[in-house]
Amino acid sequence: MKVKLEDLLLLVAKYDKFSLAKIKKAYLYATDKHSHQFRESGEPYIIHPLSVALILAQLNADADTICAGLLHDVIEDTDTKKEEIIEEFGETVATLVMGVTNLTKMSFYDKKTIDNANLRKLILGMTKDVRIIIIKLADRLHNMMTLQYKKNVLKQQAKSIETMEIYVPIAQYLGLDNIKTELEDRCFMYLKPENYKEISEIRNNLEKRTENLKKEVILKINKILNYHNIDSEVRFRLKGIYSIFKCFLKNENLDEIHDLLAFIVVLNDIDDCYISLRYIHENFKHIPKYLKDYIGQPKQNLYRAVHTTVVGPNNKLIQMQLKTHNMDQIAQYGITEFWHDDIKNGTSKMQESLKTQYPLFRSIIEANKMANNNQEFVNLLKGELAEKIEVLANDGNIIEIAEGSTPIDFAYKIHSELGNNMAAALVNGNYVAFNYPLKKGDRVRIITDISATGPTEEWLHWSVTERAHKKIREFLNHQKRDLHLTRSP
């Protein structure tokens, strides 16, 4: 990828022309510091931090974040000290660079080298300034884009596993869908190269075959909405390579993937979303089970839209995603949408939103409170980042829970007392065993009884999440202590 400083400056000039001098200074500083270093591709090292900065600029990142992106390796890879960064670029840039540097040094999975105390400190530090993890995501994305130059296959796979299990979920939880999809596909390419090649060919052929369908559907949607005087923008999205692979793992064939072909319909306001849904259903046969109202019930990364799957030309299933301009911006940029809305105050708004609206932040804080030691914190965090499914609580709220979870995990996800007093569980109105594996879309109701005997050792085998295991062990240990005191003379 040929990148130049001019590319970065042109991109930043579109939203923050007053910061160009500072960014250019950071680039020249980084170029000088890395002047004798080269990447495994043979390119000058500066290509990497410049590429990271470009990824950040595509998110409308503020000047300090872009400068930190340009400088993120100077402390780790050169003899530069933090004090020098403070003197040249200010305390904020230096703090961001140090945050990324320390995070880069951490191995999330190497039990021999991991320092759980530092990892805990760093993860909690990210909640104080989310820009650290956003820079790290950009850094990891460019590293994955150039991973082919790392010739050791085992190192490629180790990097891909860590990326898939840690950075992909973080990108998803922060709403950075484009970064999440790109990271997933890159990891898939190294972890399952034969499958990747096969599905890439399928997807490429599908893209060519659906060109006429795409034009026909966009034309029809525009015609329907124009007739009713509804302004709209319509674009097409084809499901990613790894996402298609996951559908195949569930034994779905290509024609059964209901959101394989998606049309994003961007409208002026919420009323237009629901009115347009009516007109689309009048003109296309829809599949009721795939109707999802994420406007009334937003996803945990604040994604909002109404989704419906209809039967399109040639009996192809196609998904319609109806959303406002603001919802569309959040769908594309996630938490960094605040930079697009207000570059001056976007960072402070982003941090406040992280604390008040994003469950990831609350999960980290809860894990910190629950954990009795650093290893427990790491285990809880990994559990929070595991693959999730969405189920419905009895009050209609959407709850994200680890794939493979049972009613026990669900109960402890809601509240400890709900788990400890659980007497029965209903899923979709039917009584189920406590070890029943929940599925996406299940409606779950927990029935409690204050006289219930509480969890037993078996519950540890009937649940999958670290949170549930911790709460069950606490209950059992407390029970043993009470029994011991009762028997003591």
Report pLDDT digits (tens) over 138-149. Answer: 999 999 999 999
Please state the φ and ψ torsions of residue 25, each to the nearest 5 degrees.
-60, -45
Give the number of residues written for the chain.
Answer: 489
Q: What is the mean pLDDT of residues 112-137?
A: 72
Q: Which of 7, 43, 76, 400 is catalytic?
A: 76
What pLDDT score was predicted for residue 485?
Answer: 60
pLDDT, tens only, 291-350:
999 999 888 889 999 999 999 999 999 999 999 999 999 999 999 999 998 888 999 999
How many CB atoms are closer than 10 A to CB 245? 19
Of the pLDDT bands very low, low, confident and very high (cuts 50, 70, 90), residue 92 is: very high
pLDDT, mean of residues 396-421: 91
What is the rounded CA–CA span in Å between residue 203 and residue 209? Answer: 10
Both 100 and 16 in a single domain?
yes
User: Residue 257's domain is classified under what CATH number?
Assistant: 3.30.460.10
390 and 476 housed in the same domain: yes
- Based on the domain organization, do 39 and 123 belong to the same domain? yes
Residue that finishes a domain, picked among 144, 162, 192: 192
Domain boundary among 163, 192, 221: 192
pLDDT at residue 463, rounded to an integer? 94
Based on the fold, state whether residues 188 and 214 are members of the same structural domain: no
For 44-61, the DSSP string reads BTTHHHHHHHHHHHTTT-
Active-site entry in 7, 43, 77, 293: 77
Average pLDDT over residues 190-218: 96
Structural domains of the chain, count: 3
Contacts of 486 (CB under 8 A, 6+ apart): none
- Among residues of the chain, what percentage have pLDDT more than 70? 93
| 483 vs 425, higher pLDDT | 425
State how far the Cα of 28 lies from the Cα of 387, in Å rounded to an integer: 41
Q: Write the CATH number for 423.
A: 3.10.20.30
The encoded tokens of residue 375 equal 């290893």
Written as one letter, the residue type at 59 is: L
* 3-state DSSP assignment of residue 106: coil
Instruction: Note the pLDDT of residue 389.
Output: 86
Does 165 share its domain with 62? yes
Residue 187 has pLDDT above 70, yes or no: yes
108 pLDDT tier (thresholds 50, 70, 90): low
Mean predicted confidence (pLDDT) in 361-376: 78
Whether residue 353 lies inside any domain: the answer is no
Residue 286: domain span: 210-335
Residue 443, SS3?
strand
Same domain, 109 and 237: no
Q: Are residues 234 and 85 in the same domain?
A: no
Share the mean pLDDT of the chain. Answer: 90
**In this structure, are 127 and 215 located in the same domain?**
no
- Please indicate, yes or no, if residue 274 is contained in any of the structural domains: yes
Same domain, 233 and 274: yes
* Residue 344 exposed, middle or buried by CB count within 10 Å (0-12, 13-18, 19+): exposed
Instruction: Give the pLDDT mean for 260-269.
Output: 97
Q: How far is the C-alpha of 56 from the C-alpha of 483, rounded, in Å?
A: 58
Does 202 reside within a domain? no
Q: What is the CATH number of the domain that holds 166?
A: 1.10.3210.10
C-alpha triplet 466, 471, 473: angle, nearest 5°? 95
The verdict on 55 and 155 lying in the same domain is yes
Whether 359 is in a domain gets the answer: no
Q: Please give the distance of CA 68 from its chain centroid, rounded to a whole number.
A: 22
pLDDT of residue 291: 95
Q: Classify residue 271: in a domain, yes or no.
A: yes
Same domain, 115 and 164: yes
Q: Is residue 365 part of a domain?
A: no
In a domain, 381, yes or no: no
Asked whether residue 297 falls in the same domain as residue 428, the answer is no
**Structural domain ending residue among the three candidates 335, 352, 369:** 335
Q: How confident is the model at residue 114 (pLDDT cuts 50, 70, 90)?
A: very low
The answer to whether residue 222 is domain-embedded is yes
| 76 is a catalytic site residue | yes
Please, what sign has the CA dihedral across residues 481, 483, 485, 487? Answer: negative
Give the Cα separation of 166 and 174 in Å (integer): 13
320 close to 265: Cβ distance less than 8 angstroms: yes
